[in-house]
Amino acid sequence: MTDRPGEGYLQRQNDWLRSYFGARSGEPIHELAPELVAALILESDRPETMVLQHTFPWSSGLLTIAAAVGNIGTAQIINPTNSGLLVVVQGAKVTAKATGGGVMRITLDGALIGAGQAPNISLDSRARVVAGQPVVASLNAISNATAGTNGVIVDQFTTPTQLAGEDAESGLLKVRPVILTPGHRLNIWDTTPNEAANFILWGYERPIESTELVNR
């Protein structure tokens, strides 16, 4: 470590500063002025500068799963193995629930849904484009192949007034986003059997630093 401002920043902070201030040399950013030092408050800067930190917000888009007799519907966010990314899930909801009542759940590391995986949609159009759509590296998938939930349940919620057609959003993810390292997954479940379901999930992803993978 160093006592020179800037030399202790993570690479992505250095990249952010160099891009934001138009620095052209190969040297790290040390000081902006003798009395001014860049601080981690940069993480709270305007959304359009996230790309300078190699950070991309994403949405799953509307994921619709058909009803299946005796089974329940789920949508899954996947951080692929060896992605080199942290995937942060900030929100998940069932929208326009077909029936009143019922329970929704959020689980971690449920069984991998292998079929129909698709990239999440980048909310920054500067991301790479696949089939005409800006996308990120994290994936989503849907399934109606199980009769019950799997994985570790970390949240459970229902619609506000138990009426059909309402949205139901995870309260946990509003205040405590889930952080997925490579090879991990998050599911949202509509536990009402034989019900078509609409899911939307959202968050962001960024490169992971090796020190962030150490068990604490």
| 12, 13, 44, 71 from 40: Cα distances, Å | 11, 8, 8, 46
- For residues 88 and 33, membership in a common domain is answered with no
In the 8-state DSSP scheme, what is residue 35? T
Q: Please give the share of the chain, as a percent, with pLDDT higher than 90.
A: 67
Domain count, the chain: 2
Strand partners, 119: 139
| DSSP-based three-state secondary structure for 181 | coil
- Give the DSSP per-residue string, 153-168: EEEEE--SSS-TT--E
120 within a domain of the structure (yes/no):
yes
pLDDT at 147 > cutoff 60: yes
Q: How confident is the model at residue 5 (pLDDT cuts 50, 70, 90)?
A: very low
- For residues 32 and 61, membership in a common domain is answered with no
Mean of the pLDDT values across residues 16-39? Answer: 62
215 within a domain of the structure (yes/no):
no
What is the distance between the alpha carbons of residues 34 and 12, in angstroms, rounded to a whole number? 23
130 within a domain of the structure (yes/no):
yes
- For residues 120 and 137, membership in a common domain is answered with yes
- For residues 45 and 80, membership in a common domain is answered with no
Task: Please report the pLDDT score of residue 45 as a whole number.
Answer: 72
Task: Please report the pLDDT score of residue 24 as a whole number.
Answer: 66
pLDDT-wise least confident of 57-61, 177-181, 204-208, 210-214: 210-214
- For residues 81 and 188, membership in a common domain is answered with yes
Q: Which domain holds residue 172?
A: 56-208
Compare 134 and 41 and report the one with higher pLDDT. Answer: 134
- For residues 118 and 175, membership in a common domain is answered with yes
Q: Which residues contact 210 (CB under 8 A, 6 or more apart)?
A: none
Residue pair 136/86 in contact (Cβ under 8 Å)? The answer is no
Q: How far is CA 138 from the centre of its chain?
A: 8
216 within a domain of the structure (yes/no):
no
Task: Please report the pLDDT score of residue 145 as a whole number.
Answer: 97
Beta strands 85-94 and 152-157, pairing class: unpaired
2 within a domain of the structure (yes/no):
no
pTM: 0.82
214 within a domain of the structure (yes/no):
no
- For residues 32 and 123, membership in a common domain is answered with no
pLDDT digits (tens, 9 = 90+) for 79-109: 999 999 999 999 999 999 999 888 999 999 9
- For residues 23 and 60, membership in a common domain is answered with no
